[in-house]
Amino acid sequence: MIKSEWKEKGYIDEPIPAEIDLKKEIRRLCAEKNAVIMGHYYTRNEIQDVADFVGDSLALAQQAAKTTADIIVMCGVHFMAETNKILCPDKKVLLPDLNAGCSLADSCPADELAKFKEEHPGYKVLAYVNTSAAVKAHTDIVVTSSNAREIVDSLPADEKIIFAPDKNLGGYLNAVTGRNMLLWNGGCHVHEQFSVEKIVGLKAANPGAKVLAHPECKNSVLALADYVGSTAAILSFAQKDECNTFIVATESGILHEMQKRCPEKNFIPVPPMSGSCACNECAYMRLNTLEKLYNCLKYEWPFVELDEQLRERAKLPIERMLEISAKIKK
């Protein structure tokens, strides 16, 4: 049923009749198939608008763990769909475009992490959720940017820890927790691009504006931030804070939800270092389009598959994270 060129492309590009109301048809297919659409804050506005649930990496994993849907469509990137499949093996997990990867996850190949672990006996491995299932299988506890600090704090003070793969998040965590975790040298191509000079310029042009930054940004950017947090934390800070103008150093897709929650406030995305490129947009997240979402729901392809043994091994560190997160919340 799947044409070979679709398989090669990793998505279905079957032409869609112009008269079709895509959003309406997507919702109809969801109802017919008991499917749920999950979207990350970094996806296109129109995807966020049609999704059942929009959230950060932690919320998306928590939502997957409790969904009663038969099909989960993950409008995000591959590791997010994999996380859903790890938690929900009996459900079909669709990803509208299998090419939606993540430069940060790619910066940590599983065999290299396994070797590093062998070279450092006695160390616990904490891995950011932005990793492949194969890396999670070598991990003791998964963390997201929403819970990383609390999870590090929950470990004994003398625990020896390897933190992978994001060196910026790891460095930030070392600074705020006083730990000395060994850091993997990985990074996200979007968050590493933000320009310090442009933030300084924006601050000068917008006196009183507050800078909000994701901890995947470089230390020099975090040093200029009034608030550092995950996408969900940044959103809630912007909502609660009395300030009216915010300079936002994370993927610019988040501005859609910010503007929705705070229509009266002003959000300015930080541009990347090089002039005209759209490097503050994650090209992988943007691979999710309404057309691909419609086709993948219609044909129930592409879906994510995992070897069962690998899935079992990758599930443990995610479950530990969910357990610790639930305790922290109480």
| Residues found near ligand 13P in the complex (CB under 6 A) | 40, 56-57, 130, 144-146, 188, 216, 230-231
Tallying the residues shown for the chain, one arrives at 330
> Quick count: other Cβ atoms within 10 Å of Cβ 293?
28
Q: Which does 57 bind (CB under 5 to 8 A by kind): ligand SF4, ligand 13P, none?
A: ligand 13P
The greatest distance separating any two alpha carbons of the chain, rounded to the nearest whole angstrom, comes to: 63
Contact 153, 323 (CB under 8 A): no
Using rule CB under 6 A, residue 77 touches ligand SF4: yes
**Minimum gap (Å) between residue 285 Cβ and ligand SF4:** 6
x/- letters, 24..43, toward ligand SF4 (CB under 6 A): ------------------x-
Sign (positive or negative) of CA dihedral 134, 213, 321, 72: negative
Q: Which is nearer to ligand 13P, 127 or 188 (CB)?
A: 188
Helix (H) or strand (E) holding 213: strand 210-213
Contact 81, 98 (CB under 8 A): no
The helix/strand/coil state of 164 is strand
**Minimum gap (Å) between residue 128 Cβ and ligand SF4:** 9
Contact 243, 209 (CB under 8 A): yes
Kindly tell me which residue out of 285, 290, 296, 318 binds ligand SF4, with binding defined by CB under 6 A: 285
Q: Which is nearer to ligand 13P, 227 or 299 (CB)?
A: 227
**Minimum gap (Å) between residue 252 Cβ and ligand 13P:** 13
Round to whole Å and give the CA distance between 143 and 115: 21
Q: Which is nearer to ligand 13P, 128 or 294 (CB)?
A: 128
**Minimum gap (Å) between residue 230 Cβ and ligand 13P:** 4
Using rule CB under 6 A, residue 217 touches ligand SF4: no
User: CA-CA-CA-CA torsion for 99, 108, 53, 226, nearest 10 degrees?
Assistant: -120
Q: Which does 103 bind (CB under 5 to 8 A by kind): ligand 13P, ligand SF4, none?
A: ligand SF4
Q: Which is nearer to ligand 13P, 29 or 213 (CB)?
A: 213
Q: Which is nearer to ligand 13P, 188 or 290 (CB)?
A: 188
Short-list 250, 235, 113, 136, CA closest to 182 = 113
Q: Which does 145 bind (CB under 5 to 8 A by kind): ligand SF4, ligand 13P, none?
A: ligand 13P
Kindly tell me which residue out of 190, 211, 213, 290 binds ligand SF4, with binding defined by CB under 6 A: 190
Take residue 315 and report the two structure tokens written for it: 């599930």
**Minimum gap (Å) between residue 201 Cβ and ligand 13P:** 25
Rg for the chain, CA atoms, rounded: 20
Short-list 69, 88, 78, 35, CA closest to 322 = 88
Q: Which is nearer to ligand 13P, 105 or 209 (CB)?
A: 105
Round to whole Å and give the CA distance between 45 and 43: 6
**Minimum gap (Å) between residue 101 Cβ and ligand SF4:** 8
Q: Which is nearer to ligand SF4, 211 or 285 (CB)?
A: 285
Using rule CB under 6 A, residue 232 touches ligand SF4: no
Short-list 327, 311, 328, 323, CA closest to 83 = 311
Region of 162 (left: φ > 0; alpha: ψ -120 to 50; beta: rest) is beta
Which spans of this chain sit near ligand SF4 (rule: CB under 6 A)?
Answer: 42, 77, 102-104, 130, 188-190, 251, 282, 284-285
